[in-house]
Amino acid sequence: MPEAPVEAPTFRLFIAGRWVDGVSGETFDSVNPADIRDVVGRFQAGTAADVAMAIRAADDALPAWKATPAPKRGEILYRFGALMAEHKERLARAMTREMGKVLAEARGDVQEGIDIAFLMAGEGRRMFGDTVPSELPDKWAMSIRQPIGVAGIVTPWNFPIAIPCWKLMPALVTGNTVVFKPSSDSPHCATLLVELMDEAGFPPGTINLITGGGAEVGDAIVENPDVNVISFTGSSATGRGIAERAGRRLKRLSLELGGKNAVVVLRDADLDLAVDGILWSAFGTTGQRCTACSRVIADRPVADELVARLEARTRALRLGPGLDEAVDVGPLVNAAAVDKVERYVAIGRREGDLVTGGERGSGVGLEHGHFYRPTIFAGVAPMATIAQDEIFGPVLSVVPVDGYDEAMTAANQVRYGLSASIFTRDVTTAFRAMRDFETGIVYVNAGTTGAETHLPFGGWKDTGNGHREAGHAALDTFTEWKAVYVDYSGRLQRAQIDNQPG
Ligand code: NAP
């Protein structure tokens, strides 16, 4: 890492197919969380004026993009997916440098973007509606999807390529145009993504990128009446505010919010497998995944043994910069995230028994980064603060319970409902759990993380508002349904009247 500051490159906004400076002339820095002396770049602090220009550009581009046959739109998505595959390593390294996740996970993040680009490219030739028999003779009945208009896309930093792609790809293949505001902790990843989209051939104005603060840029997107649909991923607090504002304007809104995901380990579980699954889910991406496991609900006969095995394996995890391939756990994203983890660890010391961790990372190579040691608390009550709040860091609570029913009550006794998992060798119990978890994702004999792009992704309760990303379900956020009837009988036929007796 550089000792002396090197002049960081300045990046621009992308509006109507051109890279431009923001109106204000102000910029902000994106820094490497593993070494804050390393400035990744300087980014435009976008304003409401920039957002207004981007929305106008998206609106202008809409008629031609809507009129482009969906399979042709899909071909551009396909080219974009192929370009991402070509640049996968470069994107992954840029991601690790900018937001900290270890390189293997960054490669996975890019791959998820590639997968959704290819899946949605195919939707250009599917985008199924229903064709159904009419209840009347000589009449045709079908439904088609149509684009909603200009889509506002607001994303977090923890999956800085995958999550934007999860939103951009379905929005664009269905014929919407987009204004995209990435997290201020990952503007470089977003810029690289949009550069490749430009190269892939998305016409000017179909994709517009505005970097800048949530309050300034995000609000301007949400409040603008010409933005017809908002797709947001981030914290429940921010999502709630957006929902209130978008609700007043009756805007279509998809929210993917926080999680407090549980792994249930029953007395008949394969404990080695459970430990592997828990470690990967709890400390991968330094606990900063929406699907991260932050609660282990342990059946009492195996709880102590499980904690002992988790402790040994957690102590062996290597903490350090994610660009070092030998590192298991990278830094937290920024100083505020470390402060938040510290606050919860202080609460945890009162609510449970500290097993390992509980301190900032220190030592050679960690001096200039936002490092925190993977932390485990045992003997935590189901309703304790650290078992209820989303900490979004490497802090795991082990909650002891007696048997399946108590485990399921504890698992569901949170306001979130994204992912849950159960370790058991009993097939009957596994099926009961698939039924009983109040979450959008359920795993059996694996951790809580890892979604495949062709199934719907999203959560129950405070995790969202009922929409889903990925899979065919992703199209629902970005399309209006239109039911189309063609009556070729040559006479007036009245549904529900002319084909009924009396
Ligand atoms: P965040 O603070 O809510 O920010 C998310 C995005 O919203 C950022 O681009 C942010 O911009 C923007 N924003 C902030 N205030 C805004 C406002 N008033 N109006 C419009 N936009 C605004 O969340 P985060 O810290 O980036 O991400 C972590 C959270 O995301 C966690 O809660 C995690 O569980 C959740 N998450 C959920 C899923 C899921 O699929 N359910 C997936 C990943 C992450 P700035 O960066 O400029 O502030």
List pLDDT tens digits, range 203-233: 999 999 999 999 999 999 999 999 999 999 9
Choose among 384, 393, 376, 456: nearest CA to 419. 456
Q: Is 256 a catalytic residue?
A: yes
Residue 5, pLDDT score: 56
DSSP character at residue 319:
B
Please calculate the CA angle 273-279-284 and round it to the nearest 5 degrees. 130
What pLDDT was estimated at residue 501? 82
Give me Rg for the CA atoms of the chain: 24
464 secondary structure, DSSP code:
B
Question: What domains can you pick out in the chain, each with its CATH number?
Answer: 13-257+464-483 (3.40.605.10), 261-444 (3.40.309.10)
The dihedral built from the CA positions of residue 462, 468, 470 and 471, taken in this order, carries a sign that is positive
Please indicate whether residue 135 is annotated as part of the active site. Answer: no
Q: Give pLDDT, residue 280.
A: 97
Mean pLDDT for the chain overall: 97
Nearest CA to ligand 1 atom 21: 218
Contact 301, 271 (CB under 8 A): no
Give me the pLDDT at residue 6, please. 64
Which of 50, 154, 255, 256, when mutated, tests ligand 1's pocket best, judged by the most ligand atoms within 8 Å of its CB?
Answer: 154
- Does residue 250 sit in helix, strand or coil? coil
pLDDT score, position 109: 98
> Which residue among 290, 338, 391, 441 is best mutated to probe the pocket of ligand 1, counting the most ligand atoms within 8 A of its Cβ?
290
pLDDT at residue 446, rounded to an integer:
97
Choice among 256, 293, 390, 469 that is catalytic: 256
Nearest-angstrom CA–CA distance, 400 and 421:
16
Tokens standing for 152?
Answer: 């506002």
What is the distance, to the nearest Å, from the Cα of residue 404 to the centroid of all Cα atoms in its chain?
A: 30
Can you say how many angstroms the Cα of residue 243 is from the centroid of all Cα atoms in its chain? 17
pLDDT digits (tens, 9 = 90+) for 331-389: 999 999 999 999 999 999 999 999 999 999 999 999 999 999 999 999 999 999 999 99
CA–CA separation, 59 vs 53, rounded Å? 10
What is the tally of helices (H) and strands (E) in the chain? 15, 21
For residue 189, the model assigns a pLDDT of: 98
Classify the C-alpha dihedral 241-187-455-105 as positive or negative: negative
Q: Give pLDDT tens digits for 125-167.
A: 999 999 999 999 999 999 999 999 999 999 999 999 999 999 9
How far apart are the C-alpha atoms of 17 and 374, rounded to whole Å? 44
pLDDT at 498: 87
Q: What is the pLDDT, as a whole number, of residue 7? A: 84
Q: From the CA of 241, how far away is ligand 1's center (Å)? A: 11
Ligand 1 centroid–CA 157 distance in Å is 8
Q: Is the pTM of this model over 0.75?
A: yes
Catalytic residue of the set 165, 189, 290, 293: 290
Q: Is 462 in the pocket of ligand 1 (CB under 6 A)?
A: no
Is 476 in contact with 147 (CB distance < 8 Å)? no
For 176, 207, 469, 479, 480, the CA distances from 145, given in Å and listed in that order, are 12, 21, 17, 6, 6
d(C-alpha 308, C-alpha 271), whole Å: 11
What does each C-alpha distance from 230 to 161, 225, 330, 373 come to in angstroms? 18, 11, 32, 37
All residues at 6 or more sequence positions from 240 whose CB lies less than 8 Å from its CB, including other chains: none
